[in-house]
Amino acid sequence: MNRILVTGAAGFIGSALVRELLQSDSTIIAVDKLTYAGNLQSLRDVMAHDRFQFIRADIVDRRAMAEIFSTTRPGGLIHLAAESHVDRSIEGPVDFISTNIVGTFTLLEAARDYHATLEGKARDSFRFHHVSTDEVYGDLDTLAPPATEDTPYRPGSPYSASKASADHLVRAWSRTYGLPVIISTSPNNCGPRQFPEKLIPHVILSALSGKDIPVYGDGEQIREWLYVEDHATALATIYHHGKNGETYHVGGGNERRNLEVVHAICDLLEKHAPDHKPAGLASYRELITHVKDRPGHDLRYALDGTKLRETLDWAPLESFDTALEKTVLWYLGNESWWRGILSGDYRLERLA
């Protein structure tokens, strides 16, 4: 299990997971298609590591996946590769069906064929760790208890429906074919190296540029937040110590209304970057603009993380407040990273 294949490794969560796994004695085979959200800059600090290998490949490509398994001989995999932006799924769902459903199916089949070739300890220890999202449960009433691992699925967007479909495939391959699988489910993540289309970096960069900060509807939608490095430690814990066939919620209990999050970011920028405001602007909050709500916008997501805490002794290190401040400070201190994305220069490296 110390040779781990990580799909979506050049993404936000994937790159954090790679750095976490390399702190142990694991060897990482990092696979990424390098779509618009894949950024090799996010892996620059580990590219030369002697226990790291990067392979550019599409999980939908069955031949490529089979070759990766046969040549790298991983002890298991953590599957993070996915299209993940709800707005994009509404505007164009086809990529979500292809990557999240067909890609997961293709990867399951490649893993099943590979697993059949293993013997003894290698066969017994192999596992397919699939990473899911709280959005598969649909929205919860404001006062309802958080979703547990047994809560029925009610996905409400093309994105969440595609992830729910992938979850069902993973469980079916376990029951029908005996493939050893494990599923983890997380809430919204925040932290370094998140693509600027997502809420928190979008608000930070809009504010620093003096642009309007768009808030859907009244901004009363509730989301749970998790620091990405906490998520990475949870994934490593679940992969190494979780029980096959189980689902684990990586819940931290940090629920906030979207408008609260935006206000908190503006206030942190007042604290750490007061001189970035455009002339004549008294407060970053003045940039907040309420826009038409997205279709089918879910009201609330929340996960009950009791099972993970009690069975695997994991808990997040960061509160919402400390996670958000660390995130804001990272973007303030790493302007070259996000400038490269905004200009499109990061795409040149992946084409080289």
Q: Annotated active-site positions, please?
A: 134-135, 159
Sequence letter at residue 185 = T
H/E stretch holding 210 reads none
Place of tokens 């509730």: 222
Asked if 77 contacts 14 with a C-beta cutoff of 8 angstroms, the reply is no
Give CA–CA dist 160/185, Å, rounded.
12
SS (H, E, C) 272-325: HCHHHCCCCCCCHHHHEEEECCCCCCCCECCECCHHHHHHHCCCCCCCHHHHHH
Give CA–CA dist 235/143, Å, rounded.
29
Please give the angle made by the CA atoms of 78, 227 and 143, to the nearest 5 degrees.
Answer: 105
Instruction: Determine phi and psi for 346, rounding to 5 degrees.
Output: -60, -25
Give CA–CA dist 174/171, Å, rounded.
5
Query: Which ranges constitute the DSSP H helices of the chain?
Result: 12-21, 62-72, 86-91, 94-96, 104-117, 120-125, 158-177, 199-208, 228-241, 258-272, 306-312, 320-333, 335-343, 346-351
Sequence letter at residue 184 = S
